[in-house]
């Protein structure tokens, strides 16, 4: 047994809020091998009649990804959407200045929409507010969503797509606060163009929802002022403000690394506060929610990316190979987002295939699961319903940058319709197991049906096409007795405890 002990109380009526399934979204950008060699490889043995890899499609379906952001990312700030429609043989090759590669435009809007339908995902479409603006944005909405009888809707029909796509979620540009961005703007400049683009996009289709760009990350010098200024301009026209954040363990300090989700939690709370400040300032009844549309671990590939030949086509770029500790942090980040399900409605793990991704492919070879695939898959599949607000007491530790870090990072999701209760839990302790006692007396007649555990003796263990060193097992020891669940969470482990009504 273990000396460390944590307690949790779950009540059906202690709710954070209904979980929007889009919180399990992801992202495909025209970057590296995300598109070409990732989702699309016409000469691959597994390619379908459209050139899409069926092995990748099956893995995306396994993740049950509800929403995919497209086509960028930094890429979108220099992208002409018209380059990616119409006959493929007539499409231009362009220099992509964002990633210093050559874009062939073999895959564009219609191809990607076809792929999204195959994997069962909706699309979160981004418009270019870098080199383009209001006109291109409204025309793309017309092309995608207008039924017919206008120039761009008829153009879509002439491209073989008679019925509109009815894309509901749209991003107003990408990271426009960043000096690295094509068409970088001040908060006031971006706020004005985002306001006007939002206005006319909703004139074309009043049913769409719009995401305004927040800060590229919380350490930007303009953070907070940027959000406040942008929302000051756009508040009446948009529905979400975006957050972006990536983490890495450059200092090889595991205890500190696994505490980074506390920083993520504070970031989310801060943006909610800023949005509500603008609401109060405007005396508005409208509530702005959050879209965390870029989040992940990203640091492993930084040195390799410096060696890429400029203007190559679909190079091996941003191909982080994730290890076991990365999977634990991703699990902590997913739990953190579920804790804010009342306001955080959209999130996009960046990205989905090959580029800082849970799914990797070999050129002309197999597709395989990275370590981070598993916590992402578990929450997406079992984390649908209502996010509960558990009362948790846990022993704590201090690290280099954080104090009072709980060894237990945990939350729970209740699906009343399916009569299921799922507990997600990470034990951050580097050396010892953690005894969890969870009081669920409010959930009468529920029983443990499965205790999934992701653990590994090697914190740096990685998966590859040849060998899956990091995989979950179902030998967890959670048990129910007299309304109490007890389980030993192994040291450094991701746990999914699933209960169903008897």
Where in the sequence numbering do the catalytic residues fall?
175, 294
User: Which of 106, 114, 128 has its CA nearest to residue 35?
Assistant: 106
Query: Do 188 and 92 touch, CB atoms closer than 8 A?
Result: no
What are residue 322's phi and psi, to 5 degrees?
-85, 150
Query: Beta strand 446-454 with 493-501: parallel, antiparallel or unpaired?
Result: antiparallel
**13 alpha-carbon distance from chain centroid:** 28
- Give the whole-angstrom CA distance, residue 265 versus residue 263: 5
CA distances from 58 to 39, 52, 114, 129, 401 (A): 11, 11, 15, 34, 40
CA distances from 33 to 95, 121, 312 (A): 16, 20, 11
Give the SS3 label for residue 234: helix
Other Cβ atoms within 10 Å of 322 Cβ, number = 24
Burial class (CB in 10 A: 0-12, 13-18, 19+), 77: buried
Residue environment code for 244-273, b if the CB has 16+ CB neighbours within 10 A, otherwise e: bbebbbeeeebebbbbbbbbbbebbeebbe
- Give the whole-angstrom CA distance, residue 257 versus residue 300: 14
Burial class (CB in 10 A: 0-12, 13-18, 19+), 45: exposed
């Amino acid at each position: 047994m273990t000396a460390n002990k944590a307690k949790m109380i779950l009540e059906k009526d202690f709710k954070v809020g209904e979980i929007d399934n889009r919180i399990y979204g992801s992202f495909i950008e025209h970057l590296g091998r995300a598109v070409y060699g990732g989702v699309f490889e016409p000469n691959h043995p597994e390619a379908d009649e459209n050139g899409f890899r069926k092995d990748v499609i099956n893995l995306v379906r396994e993740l049950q990804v509800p929403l995919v952001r497209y086509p960028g990312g930094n890429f979108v700030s220099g992208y002409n959407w018209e380059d990616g429609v119409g006959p493929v043989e007539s499409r231009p090759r362009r220099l992509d200045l964002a990633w210093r590669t050559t874009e062939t435009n073999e895959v564009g809007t219609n191809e990607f929409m076809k792929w999204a339908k195959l994997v069962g995902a909706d699309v979160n479409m981004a418009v270019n507010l870098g080199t383009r603006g209001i006109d291109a944005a409204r025309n793309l909405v017309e092309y995608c969503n207008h039924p017919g009888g206008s120039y761009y809707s008829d153009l879509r029909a002439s491209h073989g797509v008679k019925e509109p796509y009815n894309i509901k979620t749209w991003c107003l540009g990408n990271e426009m606060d960043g000096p690295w961005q094509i068409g970088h703007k001040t908060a006031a400049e971006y706020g004005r163009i985002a306001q006007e683009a939002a206005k006319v996009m909703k004139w074309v289709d009043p049913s769409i929802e719009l995401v305004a760009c927040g800060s590229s990350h919380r350490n930007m010098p303009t953070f907070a002022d940027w959000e406040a200024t942008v929302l000051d301009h756009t508040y009446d026209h948009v529905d979400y403000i975006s957050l972006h954040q990536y983490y890495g363990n450059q200092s090889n300090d595991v205890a500190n690394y696994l505490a980074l989700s506390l920083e993520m939690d504070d970031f989310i709370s801060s943006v909610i506060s800023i949005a509500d400040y603008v609401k109060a300032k405007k005396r508005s009844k409208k509530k702005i929610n959050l879209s965390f549309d870029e989040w992940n671990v990203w640091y492993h590939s930084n040195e390799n990316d410096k060696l890429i030949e400029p203007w190559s086509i679909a190079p091996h770029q941003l191909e982080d190979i994730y290890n076991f500790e990365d999977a634990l942090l991703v699990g902590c980040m997913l739990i953190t987002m579920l804790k804010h399900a009342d306001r955080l409605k959209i999130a996009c793990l960046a990205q989905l295939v090959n580029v800082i991704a849970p799914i990797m492919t070999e050129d002309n070879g197999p597709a395989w699961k990275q370590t981070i695939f598993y916590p992402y898959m578990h929450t997406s599949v079992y984390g649908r319903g209502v996010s509960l607000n558990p009362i948790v007491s846990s022993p704590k530790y201090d690290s280099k940058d954080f104090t009072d870090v709980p060894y237990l990072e945990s939350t729970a999701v209740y699906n009343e319709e399916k009569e299921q209760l799922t507990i997600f839990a990470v034990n951050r302790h580097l050396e010892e197991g953690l005894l969890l006692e969870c009081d669920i007396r409010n959930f009468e007649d529920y029983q443990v049906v499965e205790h999934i555990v992701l653990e590994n003796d090697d914190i740096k263990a990685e998966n590859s096409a040849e060998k899956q060193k990091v995989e979950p097992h179902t030998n967890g020891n959670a048990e129910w007795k007299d309304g109490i669940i007890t389980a030993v969470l192994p040291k450094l482990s991701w746990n999914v405890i699933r209960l169903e009504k008897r």
